A and B are shown apart, each in its own frame.
Chain A
Amino acid sequence: MFIASILAPFAVFLCFFGLGWVYWGWKASNRVSSALGWALITSSVLAWIPAAGLQYGLVYALFAPALLVWPYVSREASRIPSRAGQQRPREASQWSVAQVIVNAGAAVVVALVLPLMAGVLTVFVSFQLPVAGASQAAIGILLLPFLTALYVFLYLASRRRMQWLLVGAAGTSVLAAVMYL
């Protein structure tokens, strides 16, 4: 308990100090400083683990920079001149029925079709891996959101969405046939 009460603030300090090095390296365009900073941030995990345990320590080490970076961001804060009098013209909202239909269709694809396609691929990949049941489940749980994200990104970033969707659907059908037939 005593060691933890010393090591936890030390881990915070190490992370904060590391962020400082990253900041100074960034400001001076010095890659060595930045690399040293990242090394310090990474090494804070070595203080977090004895302070809070392996599992909690890893979580704190991962999330702490999000809180501790703000003094450096605020130090770098600047003000840009406001352009008084530059008011954008106000217009009534313009609704195009065709555009609404296209967007609604894409929303259905993104929210329903692509997660389903990613689900089929996830199950297929998970069950091909040489691991036991619980690990298959864990890999599947990790894989599904990333595959969904990949599918969604490829679909939305594509200039030929319908073609991409058809190719994806065909691939999924093949996988489904392999698994279910």
Chain B
Amino acid sequence: MKRMVAGPNSGRALDAAALDAHAWLGLMISAALYLICLSGALAVFNQEFERWEQPAVEEDTRVRPELAAQGLEHFVERYGRDTGHFHVVFPTSGIPRLVVENDDIAHFVRDDATLGAVESAPWTRMLIDLHYYLHLPKNVGMILVSVCGALLVALIVSGVLAHPRIVRDAFRFRRGGNGTQANIDLHNRLSVWGLPFHLTIAVTGAYYGLVGLLVSLAAHAFFDGDTQAVTAPVFAPEPSGYGVEGAELPDIARAVDHVLREDPEGRPIFLTIHDPGTVDEFVEIYVQQPGRLIYSENYRFSPDGELIGRGGYRDGAGGKQFVYSLYRIHFGDFAGVGTKVLYFILGMMLAVVSATGVSIWLGKRKRRTMMDALWPAFVWGTPIALATSAIATLAGGAGIAGWVFWLVLLVTTSLGARLDAGLVRQRYPLLLGGCLITLVVLYVAHNGSAALHVASWPVTASLLCFAFALLWPLSYNRLRRPQGRAGDSLARR
């Protein structure tokens, strides 16, 4: 990659060097960053997508301790106790459904406490895995994605330094020309005004994969390799010695009852039975706190339902609260659908920043190469691949959603190499619109009347609106063409 700017003169050396660094780094991580940003913006709605994938499940927003305990008993009767954890996900978790699960399988619980359908949201899982790991092996993928977060901070810093007209251009947006100026203005306006959000997402995103590096370095430097000693001030250590080897299921109804009385404002999210049937067994209930960004306050109980203590996240040290708030700050999962919509829009803006960054670099070059068409094909091919993987999932290919995604992305991007960039920008959005219409038609055919359930229609309606917005130019052009011809003939007369 050669320098984007001619040699820097003495007065603007920092701008030019910053622009060089910004361009190099942007090109290096642009594709990964675009995938992470787009999937992240969509993953804000992961709970809504999960409900949408299984719309026919019974829903209820109440937390009923007895029902949860009976549901868990039925689950253990069917699957046994040979697991490291049991979980009960409450209907106040964001998805109004009661779920019982072990480390391998999850079931919905019906109103009569019998086990309902197996929880299965393969497309949502695929989307989340794309955002977390880029579908790489989990350890490697998460570190890579987090490094992208740290590099996004570098992009933000170098971008600000490379932008000497940051104030002079604060509201400028020039369309037309060959499109490069519009891309530059869009890239800069979105980057500058969205800077607080971008920085927040980058810093919190860097945490997940890189915290392991920090813990490991600190443990070996100051605690003789004891990682628990590093994390203990933040994450309350697990209690032990409260369980009995081979004991019966713990009294979770009593524990949940206790939480509902002790913390009436809180929303129980889920419950975990750690190391069931061992001496280390204990019950932990995660309770979301209204008005707070912390993930939850955690109540810990012995197997007989006696309170052992709290995690201390609600009123612990500021640093502890900060670290435990990173998840909700990153994913916007703290104040209902309104905040999710805000995060979705801002996340899409960041995806547009990633996409336009490369387009600017391509547009400034004096020659055209295959890359000029490959990049827009990749940008538009990604949502097409996401839509196609959802279609494949509905058509019965639940286990292949990830493979379909990458295959379609490969095909659409490679096809771009054979097309003109303008044609890609014109046709691929129409293709995406077509894929979304197909997805909705298949979804309605697959789910019948359940497609009108409150769990599904908001997502279906949003998909339809987006599809029609993409297909609008098609109808507009068709309607307009005869008028244009009529106008021509009138002019000739």
Interface stretch (choices B243-251, B316-324, B442-450): B316-324
Q: Is the CB of A66 within 8 A of B346?
A: yes
- Shortest Cβ distance from residue A56 to the other chain B in the assembled complex, whole angstroms: 5
Q: How far is the CA of A92 from the CA of B372 in the complex (A)?
A: 11
Contacts of A81 in B (CB 8 A): 176-177
Contacts of B144 in A (CB 8 A): 111
B24 at the interface (CB under 8 A from A): yes
Supposing A83-B177, A83-B178, A134-B234 touch, asked if A149 and B151 sit within 8 A by C-beta, the answer is yes
A43 at the interface (CB under 8 A from B): no
**Cβ 8 A contact of B323, one of A72, A83, A99, A138:** A138
Q: How far is the CA of A152 from the CA of B146 in the complex (A)?
A: 15
Per-position contact with A for B341-377: 1 when CB-CB < 8 Å, else 0? 0100110010000000000000001111111000000
Within B184-209, the residues touching A (CB, 8 Å) are: 189-190, 193-194, 196-197, 200, 202-203, 206-207
A169 at the interface (CB under 8 A from B): no
Supposing A135-B319, A138-B323, A152-B154 touch, asked if A115 and B213 sit within 8 A by C-beta, the answer is yes
**Cβ 8 A contact of B176, one of A82, A93, A156:** A82
Supposing A133-B234, A153-B157 touch, asked if A72 and B171 sit within 8 A by C-beta, the answer is yes
Per-position contact with B for A36-72: 1 when CB-CB < 8 Å, else 0? 0000000000000000111110011011011101001
Q: Is the CB of A91 within 8 A of B368?
A: yes
Q: Is the CB of B210 within 8 A of A127?
A: no
**Cβ 8 A contact of B217, one of A67, A107, A123, A141:** A123
Interface stretch (choices B81-89, B218-226, B391-399): B218-226
Minimum CB distance partner of B28 in chain A: A107
Supposing A26-B170, A157-B17 touch, asked if A133 and B175 sit within 8 A by C-beta, the answer is no
- Shortest Cβ distance from residue A154 to the other chain B in the assembled complex, whole angstroms: 9
Within A107-147, the residues touching B (CB, 8 Å) are: 107, 110-112, 115-116, 118-120, 122-123, 126-127, 131-142, 144-146
Contacts of A152 in B (CB 8 A): 21, 25, 150-151, 154
Q: How far is the CA of A127 from the CA of B197 in the complex (A)?
A: 29
B419 at the interface (CB under 8 A from A): no
Contacts of B220 in A (CB 8 A): 180
Contacts of B193 in A (CB 8 A): 65-66, 69
A5 at the interface (CB under 8 A from B): no
Contacts of A54 in B (CB 8 A): 291
Q: Is the CB of B291 within 8 A of A56?
A: yes
Q: How far is the CA of A99 from the CA of B27 in the complex (A)?
A: 14
Q: How far is the CA of A79 from the CA of B173 in the complex (A)?
A: 8
Q: How far is the CA of A179 from the CA of B156 in the complex (A)?
A: 31
Contacts of B233 in A (CB 8 A): 132-134, 136-137
**Cβ 8 A contact of B218, one of A23, A52, A123:** A123
Q: Is the CB of B175 within 8 A of A79?
A: yes
Supposing A53-B291, A76-B171, A83-B178 touch, asked if A63 and B150 sit within 8 A by C-beta, the answer is no
**Cβ 8 A contact of A135, one of B196, B207, B317, B325:** B317
Contacts of A111 in B (CB 8 A): 28, 144, 147, 151
Minimum CB distance partner of A65 in chain B: B193
Contacts of A131 in B (CB 8 A): 319
**Cβ 8 A contact of B210, one of A56, A86, A119, A136:** A119
Q: How far is the CA of A99 from the CA of B2 in the complex (A)?
A: 9
**Cβ 8 A contact of A110, one of B28, B206, B218, B339:** B28
- Shortest Cβ distance from residue A28 to the other chain B in the assembled complex, whole angstroms: 12
Q: How far is the CA of A88 from the CA of B130 in the complex (A)?
A: 36
- Shortest Cβ distance from residue A91 to the other chain B in the assembled complex, whole angstroms: 5
Contacts of B190 in A (CB 8 A): 66
Max chain B C-beta neighbours (<10 A), residue from A52, A53, A94, A127 = A53
For the complex, count residues of A whose C-beta is within 8 A of B: 78
Q: How far is the CA of A77 from the CA of B20 in the complex (A)?
A: 28
Q: Is the CB of B189 within 8 A of A67?
A: no
A33 at the interface (CB under 8 A from B): no
Contacts of A79 in B (CB 8 A): 174-176
Contacts of B292 in A (CB 8 A): 53, 55
Q: How far is the CA of A23 from the CA of B169 in the complex (A)?
A: 11
A160 at the interface (CB under 8 A from B): no
Contacts of A115 in B (CB 8 A): 147, 150, 210, 213
Q: How far is the CA of A134 from the CA of B351 in the complex (A)?
A: 33
Contacts of A106 in B (CB 8 A): 24
- Shortest Cβ distance from residue A12 to the other chain B in the assembled complex, whole angstroms: 11
B334 at the interface (CB under 8 A from A): yes
Supposing A73-B189, A145-B153, A148-B150 touch, asked if A80 and B323 sit within 8 A by C-beta, the answer is no
**Could you write out 18 A-B pairs with CB less than 8 Å apart?**
A52-B291, A62-B200, A66-B190, A80-B177, A81-B176, A103-B28, A111-B151, A134-B316, A135-B318, A141-B214, A144-B214, A148-B153, A149-B157, A152-B21, A153-B154, A153-B157, A157-B21, A180-B220
**Which residues from chain B sit less than 8 Å from chain A, CB to CB?**
1, 14, 17-18, 20-21, 24-25, 28, 144, 147, 149-151, 153-154, 156-158, 161, 167, 170-178, 181, 189-190, 193-194, 196-197, 200, 202-203, 206-207, 210-211, 213-214, 217-218, 220-222, 230-234, 291-293, 316-320, 322-323, 325-326, 329, 334-335, 339, 342, 345-346, 349, 365-371
Q: Give 15 A-B pairs besides A56-B339, A63-B342, A127-B222 with Cβ atoms closer than 8 angstroms.
A: A67-B345, A72-B171, A74-B173, A76-B171, A80-B174, A81-B177, A118-B150, A123-B217, A132-B233, A137-B234, A138-B323, A141-B322, A148-B150, A152-B150, A153-B21
**Which residues from chain A sit less than 8 Å from chain B, CB to CB?**
22-23, 26-27, 52-56, 59-60, 62-63, 65-67, 69, 72-83, 86, 88-94, 99, 103, 106-107, 110-112, 115-116, 118-120, 122-123, 126-127, 131-142, 144-146, 148-150, 152-153, 156-158, 179-180
